[in-house]
Amino acid sequence: MDLLTDESLINKVQNGQLDACGLLYMRYKKPLFNYFYNNIYDVTKSEDMVQTVFEKVIKYKKNFKGTGSFRSWLFTIARNTYIDDFNARKKNRSVDIMDHDFAHEEHGENQMLDQEESNLLQKALRMLDDEKRELISMIKLNEMKYQQVADLYGLSLSNVKTKVFRIMQELKENAHKLQANG
């Protein structure tokens, strides 16, 4: 029986069995959406970018050589998609993204306090620069392994851990500032 690992599924896609891409999509649509949403705070745009990533997976399926993990390759595509979108928005930007009041979906099961904490976290995240917000969302929100992120950025493992530690400290400081002012 063929195991349904990410690598075996992408091999099927490479061999023309495009339905296997549907299984990969089901596995990664939420982590990819979270990655995009935590960087751009736009539900529709995040959903579109997830679709764009999988269009690129199909288009560039032969580029996956199996030397690294599929997840790392996929998030490299996602990161490049985000960078392309960011650069396009930067050229056409009429409103500063950090000053925009973003609407967040509310879930009925959330308590009022949980919503306030979530809002505080989102505001504190928006205070980070794009690179820091992207790095922290990969590690803490999408639960990528430090080594995967190190490989993606071309950094050492210790460098990534140090950066994440410092970003977490800055995030905490941002949250404290917001609480003091709120």
Domain residue ranges of the chain, discontinuous segments joined by +? 1-94, 111-182
Predicted local distance difference test score (pLDDT) of residue 115: 63
Q: State the alpha helices, DSSP H only, in 60-182.
A: 70-92, 112-126, 130-136, 146-153, 157-181
The owner of tokens 């002012």 is: 181
The predicted-structure confidence for 101-121, as pLDDT tens digits, reads as follows: 444 433 343 444 456 777 778
Tell me how far apart the alpha carbons of residues 28 and 150 are, in angstroms, rounded to a whole number. Answer: 20
Amino acid identity of 170?
A: E
Gap between the Cα atoms of 86 and 79, Å rounded? 10
pLDDT of residue 140: 77
Higher pLDDT, 31 or 108: 31
CATH (one of 3.30.43.10, 3.40.630.40, 2.40.160.20, 1.10.10.10) for 111-182? 1.10.10.10
Classify residue 166 by burial, with Cβ atoms within 10 Å: 0-12, 13-18, 19+: exposed
For residue 5, the model assigns a pLDDT of: 92
What integer is the mean pLDDT of 116-143?
81
CATH code, residues 1-94: 1.10.1740.10
pLDDT at 90: 65
Instruction: Give the pLDDT band (50/70/90) at residue 99.
Output: very low
Structure confidence by residue, pLDDT tens digits, 39-74: 888 899 999 999 999 999 999 999 998 888 899 899
For the cut 60, the answer to whether the pLDDT of residue 173 exceeds it is yes
> If 0-12 CB within 10 Å is exposed, 13-18 middle and 19+ buried, where does residue 93 land?
exposed
Give the pLDDT of residue 102: 40
